[in-house]
Each structure stands twice: as structure tokens, then as C-alpha cells.
Amino acid sequence: MRISFCCTDTKAQPWLDALNASFPGADVQAWAPGAPAADYAVVWAPPQQFLDEQTRLKGIFNIGAGVDALLKLRLPPGVPVVRLDDAGMSVQMAEYVCHAVIRHFREFDGYDADASLGKWSYRKTRLRRDFPVGIMGLGVLGERVGRALAQFEFPVMGWSRSAKSIPGVQCFSGETGFSGFLAASRFLVCLLPLTPDTENIMRHDTLAQLQPGGYVINVARGNHLVDEDLLALLDSGHLAGATLDVFRTEPLPASHPFWRHPKITVTPHTSARTLRAESIEQIAGKIRALEAGAPIASLAGRIDPHKGY
């Protein structure tokens, strides 16, 4: 069995060592142009040439949850694409989003500013019911975030393509449910995959439907958000702030206004990192299952190319 590793912006050696340890006797290689075709590919944003050279792949394993970069490429026909299915990401995402929601709700930014002046002063208490949180995307990550926020007793709303039932989360679905979902939300958390249907979904006319004093948390992809529309709504006062982890261009260019905006917190695409040990364990388990004859349909995390996620 040959496994080819082709991951942009990722140090290959630790992954190769771990894959070799999982499959003693297999031929595990970092891809270089012209390398022999592999049975399985472990990828992150590979070049088109890598895919064009693969003539016998049985599976493509993406070492992230989002497959938007991969699905832009011409994939070998009929080869299943499998994403990471949690693999330690959902708890990180829950931490990140709960932290951002609580920091804004409890005005910890303001307390930090006061503390830097040596000032001991209280802010008015706020009511959770005035800060309902809407989560776009109720998949592996969105559902975990919703359950975590519900533990803190925030009113939590969720929106997905198909109808769902999640304890502690008021669920909306489909295009018909979207306006009601936005109008019921003050915080808006984006955990959608990037597809033609979801690109630019956070724009002036949608963000304007959030409750006054709205707060945007984008942890999905930069292309979900129209940057200028966010800035305009922050400057008009309709939105109170934003925490942004993902951007149209990454790294976020030094000249981008998000870096210096007083109401925007920027983090460098770090809300839920790929954890190597958990990811290899998951991928290796799926390769073993396929080699043992398991039907591809039985693998969790399989991408539906028609849906784009």
C-alpha cells in the first residue's frame, strides 16, 4: 500500500513518522512531482498536479474539516473525499466561541481597559436573555458550540440546511427559516462550510437583520463575510463588535483595516487547530476499514460533492 502526503503549509516529517508508525511496511512518502501514484492521499490544499498524477487512488483524506480549497480542484473521478470528523476540533471551537461570547457579554474588554488605568469600577449587569446567540451551521462544530453555550444559559438559536432537534438550541432551517433566525439573534456565529450558497452570507442586508448591538463571530471562512459591510455596520453602531478568526486573504495583510479597528478582535485562523495524533488515528482507522473491505458509505466524514461539504 502506498500513501502519499501532500499538505501545503504543513511540516511533513512528523506526519510521515506517525503514518509510518500506523502502517509498518507501507510505502509512505511526501509527494514530489513525478512520484509514483498512491493508493491513499493525505492532503491539505494540494496543487492540481498532485491530483492529476493520481491514477489509482482509493481515498483522499483532508487534514481539516473544510474542503472548500480541495473541491475547487479537478478531483480524480469517483474517488471518495473524507474530511476530519471532529478529531479534537469541536472542543477547541466551543472554547473559542464561548470565550468570545462571554468576553463581549461580560464586557471584559472594558474591564481590561479600566485595569490598565488602575481604575476600580463596575459596569451594569446584563441579562443573558438580551444576548441570544445564533449559530449558522449545526454540523460537527456548530452543534458542539450550541450545546456549550446552552450550558452557560444563553438563549441559543441554530440554522442549518436540514431541520434539526438539539437540546437547548432553537433550530431553524432552510431559506425560509433564515430571516426569523437572524431576527432572533444578537450574536451571530458562522460555522458554515464555504459553498456557492454560503459565500458572502454575512453582508449588509443579512447583518442588518440582527438585533441592535449585534456581534459577529466568524470562525468558518473569510469569504462568508463581506468585509466592507461589516465595517459599515460597526461604524453606524448597528453592530457592537466582531471576533474574526478567518479572512479572505490569509495571513491578513498588514494594511487591512480589521487589524486596527477598535471593535474588532483578530486571531490568526487558530480557533480549532488540526491535532496531529487525533487526526492520524482517525485517518488510519478509516484506511484500515477500507482495506478490510468496509463500504465507503460507512465512513464518517465523507464529502457529498453535490452539496460541497
Cβ(268)–Cβ(43) below 8 Å: no
- Sign (positive/negative) of CA torsion 231, 236, 238, 241? positive
Nearest to 246 by CA among 192, 173, 303: 192
Q: Which segment (30-38, 103-111, 153-161, 280-288) binds ligand NDP by CB under 6 A? A: 153-161
Residues 40-79, interacting with ligand NDP (CB under 6 A): 65-66
Cβ count within 10 A of residue 85: 16
Q: Which does 211 bind (CB under 5 to 8 A by kind): ligand OXD, ligand NDP, none?
A: none
Shortest Å, Cβ 273 to ligand OXD: 7
Q: Which does 139 bind (CB under 5 to 8 A by kind): ligand OXD, ligand NDP, none?
A: ligand NDP
Nearest to 272 by CA among 224, 205, 230, 221: 221
Report the residue from 149, 169, 246, 252 that binds ligand NDP according to the rule CB under 6 A.
246
Q: What is the CA radius of gyration of the chain?
A: 21
Q: Which segment (60-68, 104-112, 235-243, 292-300) binds ligand OXD by CB under 6 A? A: 60-68
Report the residue from 64, 132, 137, 139 that binds ligand OXD according to the rule CB under 6 A.
64
Shortest Å, Cβ 193 to ligand OXD: 9
Active site annotation includes 221:
yes
161 near ligand NDP (CB under 6 A): yes
Q: How far is CA 4 from the centre of its chain?
A: 25
- Identify which of residues 239 and 244 has a Cβ nearer to ligand OXD in the complex: 244
Nearest to 135 by CA among 105, 175, 101: 101
Q: What does the alpha-carbon distance between residue 197 and residue 182 come to, in Å, rounded to a whole number? A: 17
Report the residue from 54, 211, 243, 271 that binds ligand NDP according to the rule CB under 6 A.
271
Nearest to 44 by CA among 18, 81, 91: 81
214 near ligand NDP (CB under 6 A): no
Active site annotation includes 269:
yes
Catalytic residue annotation: 221, 269
